[in-house]
Amino acid sequence: MKLIPPLLPSLIPSITLLLASCGIAALAVAPASAQPRYPEQAVKIVVPWAPGGFTDRLGRMLADKMTKSMGQPVLVDNRAGASGAIGSEVVARAAPDGYVLLITTSDSTVKLIQDRKVDPIGDFAQVSLLASQPVYLAGGAANPAKNLGEFIAMAKAKPGQVTYASSGEGSAVHLAMELFANAAQIKLNHIPYKGMGPALTDLLGGRVDAALLSLQGSTGHFATGRLRPLAITSTTRSPLMPDVPTIAESGVPNYKLTLWYGLAAPKGTPQAVVEALNKAAREAIAAPDMQANLKEGGTDPIGSSPAELLTFISSEVATWKTLIK
Domains belonging to the chain, first-starting first, are 43-132+259-324 (3.40.190.150), 136-250 (3.40.190.10)
Judged by average pLDDT, the poorest of 34-38, 112-116, 285-289 is 34-38
Dihedral, 67, 73, 74, 79 alpha carbons, nearest 10: 160
**Looking at the chain, how many residues does it have?**
325
Q: Please tell me the distance from the alpha carbon of residue 215 to that of residue 98, in angstroms, as a whole number.
A: 32
| Helix (H) or strand (E) run with residue 101 in it | strand 100-105
pLDDT tens column, 230-249: 999 999 999 999 999 999 99
- Mean per-residue pLDDT, 33-49: 87
- Mean per-residue pLDDT, 87-92: 97
C-alpha 270 chain-centroid distance? 21
- Mean per-residue pLDDT, 9-38: 48
- Mean per-residue pLDDT, 272-298: 96
**Nearest alpha carbon to residue 120 among 85, 70, 161, 94:** 85
Question: 35: pLDDT confidence band, cut at 50, 70 and 90?
Answer: low
Query: What does residue 267 show for φ and ψ, rounded to 5 degrees?
Result: -55, 140
Q: What does the DSSP 8-state code read for residue 84? A: G
Judged by average pLDDT, the poorest of 29-33, 141-145, 266-270, 313-317 is 29-33
Q: Please tell me the distance from the alpha carbon of residue 140 to that of residue 315, in angstroms, as a whole number.
A: 34
Q: Please tell me the distance from the alpha carbon of residue 246 to that of residue 182, in angstroms, as a whole number.
A: 17
- Burial of residue 307 (CB within 10 Å: 0-12, 13-18, 19+) is exposed
